[in-house]
Amino acid sequence: MDIQKIGIVGAGQMGNGIAHVMSLAGYDVLLNDISAEALAAAVALIDQNMERQVSRDKISADDKAIAMARISTTQELSEIGPSDLIIEAATEKEPIKQQIFDALLPHLEPHTILTSNTSSISITRLASRTDRPEKFMGFHFMNPVPIMQLVELIRGIATDAPTYDACKKVVDKLGKTAASAEDFPAFIVNRILMPMINEAVYTLYEGVGNVQSIDSSMKLGANHPMGPLELADFIGLDTCLAIMNVLHDGLADTKYRPCPLLTKYVEAGWLGRKTQRGFYDYRGDVPIPTR
């Protein structure tokens, strides 16, 4: 099928990035959120990020103007129902995602493809709640979306070939690379990445090293561009914990047990950059390790 109109649910960090790349690729984008403030902030951030691309000669000023004109917003979930492709990019909590899909169902066109940007939740289980499990997929972008080149495409047990092919064409049009993943907890990237981050938190918890020594060791000793604790703060410690819980529950292996210190930080509301405190304190001019 020919996808032209894309609906995006959630105007947060991932949703605004997805809207950014979709509009630049020539798609009409309708961005939905329950918060008018979140929608306004998302459009302003997209404008700012595209302006940065113009200043670096990545895109032209005309490209930016045309792309921004392709983005519209709505607080009414029903209005994105007629889209050709819907990408749910709400918070990483399964009950919320299920509520969104339940609310969308009465407003969908017969051809509409439903997808989720989930980083870990079962695509098959989400799809089973809808009237079109064969037209349901995981469409997992990496953060920050305009920069990261990978998109994980995850088939549920019922996903049909035309749905996969249509989503793959979208990824190709974005100029990104698709990685096909099977529908097992956390898919590929987070199945590998999150246990590494969790082990770094255990290394901190057990006193093997402090925040600075752990991050420096992985940057200088393993050539990682960002240390695992710094990366956890960037992702959001609540998201890291949620994915570790999905791995632990879904695979029933003690090696995926979330570190108690990670749980403690989340309980404190120290979720990383978005709350100004996590493994680093971001309230000053320079991030300061909190342990």
Helix (H, G, I), strand (E, B) or coil at 285: coil
Contact 8, 18 (CB under 8 A): yes
* Options 1.10.760.10, 3.30.465.10, 3.90.340.10, 1.10.1040.10; CATH of 190-282: 1.10.1040.10
Residues marked active site are found at 119, 140, 152, 190
Q: Give the Cα separation of 104 and 32 in Å (integer).
A: 12
| pLDDT tens-digit series, residues 89-102 | 998 889 999 999 99
pLDDT in tens, 186-217: 999 999 999 999 999 999 999 999 999 999 99
User: 5-181 adopts what CATH topology?
Assistant: Rossmann fold (3.40.50)
Residues 232, 272 contacting (CB under 8 angstroms): yes
Q: What is the pLDDT of residues 31-48, one digit of tens each?
A: 999 999 999 999 999 999
Amino acid identity at 195: P
Whether pLDDT at 82 is above 80: yes
> Nearest Cα to 88, choosing from 47, 53, 129, 43?
129
Which of 179, 181, 171 has its CA nearest to residue 120?
A: 181
Q: What is the pLDDT of residues 152-189, one digit of tens each?
A: 999 999 999 999 999 999 999 999 999 999 999 999 99
How do residues 218-264 score in pLDDT, each as one tens digit? 999 999 999 999 999 999 999 999 999 999 999 999 999 999 999 99
This prediction has a pTM of: 0.89
Where do the structural domains in the chain lie, given as residue ranges? Answer: 5-181, 190-282
Q: For residue 19, what are the CA distances in angstroms to 43, 95, 290?
A: 9, 24, 34
